[in-house]
Amino acid sequence: MARLELDDITKHFDDDGETIVAVDDASIDINDGEFLVLVGPSGCGKSTTLRMIAGLETITDGELRIGGRRVNEAKPRDRDIAMVFQSYALYPHMTVRENMSFGLEESTDLSEGDITDRVESATDTMGISDLLDRKPSELSGGQQQRVALGRAIVREPEVFLMDEPLSNLDAKLRAQMRTELQRLQEDLDTTTVYVTHDQTEAMTMGDRIAILNDGILQQVATPLEAYHAPANQFVAGFIGEPSMNFFDVDLEGDSVVGDHLDYPVSDDVRTKLDTDALVLGIRPQDIELVDAVESGHDIAVTVDVVEPMGDENNVYLTFSDAPTNETFIANVDGRTLVEEGDDIVAHIPEEAVHFFDRRSGEALRNREFDGDADVDLSL
């Protein structure tokens, strides 16, 4: 186990003489035993970052340290890491036992007996002891996934690297493996870097998450921080399901004004807004549906579409004064009875509102949130 430090890591690819910046100046310190999730849309550089840590891609600039030792130039085999791939990447001609002992045979001087012991204890951990003599083609997707994980843990490396390891599983199995992986990582207490494009995985699994976009690190934070106190509009929109609603607004006197919106802001909030061109953000979960307009924070809306999910409803709303244009989403209790075409009122509580600088995207004001307190934000 070791601390993993990315110090201004940069990666340039050369494409027909043109330089493409895949990762730009990314710095992350990952503590010993920490579970860090690298998340972002496809093409954001998260896999490239992971592959640089693994040694499968060269590092253009910056320094990578594992346990304080610079490993930029070290071969993958000399970095003391193990990696789980999206395709599992099992050796098809080898049995489960051979797949798992391969790494120990190639990278250690362990005796045959020790290797057998290590492999058998790893298969016990993964619950695949009865599959030892099977070939990968005779295993289900979930079983192959377990073998791939087992092949990584048997090495007892300093760092685990995981590249979207659950994305080939069906939804139910994925949820189950997610919990199992978390428990496993906690038991082993091995530093882990986990790449995913799925923000649910990021939120549920990570001790901290690092959000990347266009090769630039947007924020490194705990899941709750990223959710409630996003550093910028990209993070705010990426984390959370359904996505945060955004409205372009301008600060005019003591309210912000948008196309269909005239929203009064308190002095407390206004002092944080150092520019006039703003984006107002509100999470669907924070919008309340009420019967009548009682204050400036209430907006007359029309129900466009209702997506019932059982425990909750996603209600797509349009402004009553512009029925066909922009829709935004409110996420309400599943027992709330609203139907398409209903004219109702959406209450946007000021304490839950985010403001972003429209030009830079930087967060100027986040919702009221105390990271240490019990988080009950249902309001």
Partner 1 sequence: MTSTNSNSLSGRSWRSTALYAVLVLLVVFYLLPLWTGLVTSIKADVLATAPFLPPAPAGFTSVHWTRAINALTGGLVNSLILAIPATILSALLGSMAAYGLTTLNWRHQVPILMLFIAGIFIPYQAVLIPLSKFWASIVPVNDLVGYVGLAGWVGDLIGLILSHVAYGIPICTLLFRTYYKDFNEEMIEAARIDGATTHTIYRRIILPLSVPMFAVTLIYQFTQVWNDLLFALVLVGPGAGAPVTVPLSQLGASLSEVGFGIRMAGAFVAALPTIIVYVLFGDQFAEGVST
Sheet strand arrangement including 262-264: 262-264, 255-257, 245-252, 277-282, 354-357, 363-365
Which of 82/220 has CB closer to partner 1?
82
Which of 151/358 has CB closer to partner 1?
151
Residues 134-193 that bind partner 1 (CB under 8 A): 151, 155
CB proximity list for 28: less than 8 A, separation 6 or greater: 5, 6, 36, 210, 217, 220
Which of 90/119 has CB closer to partner 1?
90
Cβ of residue 41: shortest distance to partner 1, in angstroms? 21
DSSP per-residue string spanning 50-81: HHHHHTSS--SEEEEEETTEE-TTS-GGGS-E
Question: Nearest-CA neighbor of 150 among 75, 209, 74, 95?
Answer: 95
Which of 87/271 has CB closer to partner 1?
87
Which of 27/108 has CB closer to partner 1?
108
Q: Which two three-digit tokens encode residue 53? A: 């840590």
Which of 93/359 has CB closer to partner 1?
93
Cβ of residue 113: shortest distance to partner 1, in angstroms? 19
Per-residue x/- track, 67-86, partner 1 (CB under 8 A): --------xxx---xxx-xx
Measured CA to CA, the distance from residue 255 to residue 275 in angstroms comes to 13
The pair phi, psi for residue 59, each rounded to 5°, is: -100, 125
Cβ of residue 138: shortest distance to partner 1, in angstroms? 17
Angstrom CA distances, 148 to 33, 53, 82, 325, stand at: 20, 19, 10, 49
Among 19, 27, 69, 93, binds partner 1 (CB under 8 A): 93
Measured CA to CA, the distance from residue 129 to residue 116 in angstroms comes to 12
Cβ of residue 81: shortest distance to partner 1, in angstroms? 7
Among 17, 92, 113, 341, binds partner 1 (CB under 8 A): 92
Among 1, 21, 74, 89, binds partner 1 (CB under 8 A): 89
Which of 13/91 has CB closer to partner 1?
91
Cβ of residue 377: shortest distance to partner 1, in angstroms? 41
Strands 288-290 and 343-347, by their bridges, are antiparallel
Residues 49-68 that bind partner 1 (CB under 8 A): 54-56
Cβ of residue 215: shortest distance to partner 1, in angstroms? 21
Cβ of residue 161: shortest distance to partner 1, in angstroms? 8
Question: Nearest-CA neighbor of 194 among 166, 218, 228, 154?
Answer: 166
Measured CA to CA, the distance from residue 233 to residue 360 in angstroms comes to 9
Judged by the rule CB under 8 A, the positions of this chain that interact with partner 1 are 54-56, 75-77, 81-83, 85-87, 89-93, 102-103, 106-108, 151, 155
